[in-house]
Amino acid sequence: MSDSKRIVLLGKTGVGKSSVANTIIGEPLFKIGHSVNSETNKCQTETTPVDGGNITLIDTPGFFEDEMKSAVLRCIPEFAPGPHVFLIVLKVERFTEQEQAVIAKMHQYFSDEFFQYAAVLFTHGDQLPEGQTIEEFVRREKKVSDLVEKCGGRCHVIDNKYWKNNPQEEYRNNQVQVKELLKTIEEMVEANKGGCYTNEMLQAVEERIKQEEELIRQSGVMISVGEIREKAKENTLSWLWDYLTGGVHQLWRSVWGFWAQL
């Protein structure tokens, strides 16, 4: 897992993050239908070979719903020691006041350093007017355009339903778009010298995971390396909750550079 590119999917519930993950890896490994009321209101992580290398996709709960913030906290051990790429997932649609507010939150919450590791991925590409590219669509929406600009102009589009097998048009073809997305991800990792987005909190979490892994090994339990890692992350979560007692505001500032009011 250590040599995998860790990619975190961020976005509101219902934008298609789980379907995006399945489209990228080409297999239905991620559960569809994440919602505030569903049983899958937690991260799902899968590591798989893609395009000659390994990637680890981390599908998060609805990242911008207030009710889900406690669930997002449980994702932190999955992020450690830090993601290589954040994919901000948005729908191709007419942006309502609610969507505009979410984008405004991104500008407010995320640090400049975060955007060095971020790209925007649009879903529901079938909603693009005939002959229009995603770049042309973005230019018509000021807040979206500003967001993409902060991400170094990195944006792509897929359609989880209608572009699966569309050989007639190269642009509206998921295979083509995923290939371009993976190329962008590779370029981002190279530009960041192979490093991941991290900070004091994520480093502390990773160190705790390593300590828990060693304790599990010393216990003599006969489980695989992967199972040791998963058990260590579970144990680290209990430590994390204790660590953050009375300091939730500090957590969000430390992990994301957020300045949000919880």
Q: What is the pLDDT of residues 182-207, one digit of tens each?
A: 999 999 999 999 999 887 778 888 99
Is the preceding peptide bond at 129 cis, omega within 30 degrees of 0?
A: no
Task: Compute how many other C-beta atoms are within 10 angstroms of the C-beta atom of residue 2.
Answer: 7
Q: Is the dihedral of CA 1, 203, 42, 83 positive or negative?
A: negative
Residue 31: DSSP 8-state = P
The predicted pLDDT at position 65 comes to 59
**What are the residue ranges of helices labelled H in the chain?**
17-25, 69-73, 76-79, 97-109, 112-115, 134-139, 142-150, 174-191, 200-218, 225-243, 248-256
| Strand duo 44-50 + 53-59: pairing | antiparallel
The predicted pLDDT at position 66 comes to 57
- pTM assigned to the model: 0.82
Q: How far is CA 128 from the centre of its chain?
A: 23
The predicted pLDDT at position 33 comes to 67
The predicted pLDDT at position 257 comes to 44
Going from N- to C-terminal start, the domains of the chain cover: 5-191, 200-256
> CA-to-CA distance for 201 and 199, rounded, in angstroms?
6
The predicted pLDDT at position 98 comes to 73
The predicted pLDDT at position 141 comes to 85
The predicted pLDDT at position 249 comes to 41
CATH code linked to domain 5-191: 3.40.50.300
| DSSP characters over 121-161 | EEE-GGGSPTT--HHHHHHT-HHHHHHHHHTTT-EEE--TT
The predicted pLDDT at position 255 comes to 46
Q: How confident is the prediction for the chain on average, in pLDDT?
A: 82
> CA-to-CA distance for 233 and 229, rounded, in angstroms?
6
> For the CA atoms of 190, 155, 84, 143, what is the dihedral angle to 10 degrees?
120
Task: Note down pLDDT in tens along the chain; length 262 residues.
Answer: 446 899 999 888 888 999 999 999 989 999 886 444 544 467 889 999 987 788 999 998 876 655 555 666 677 888 888 899 999 999 998 777 777 777 777 767 677 888 999 999 999 999 999 889 999 999 988 888 988 999 999 999 999 888 877 666 788 999 999 999 999 999 999 999 999 988 777 888 899 999 999 999 999 888 999 899 999 998 998 887 776 654 444 444 444 443 333 2
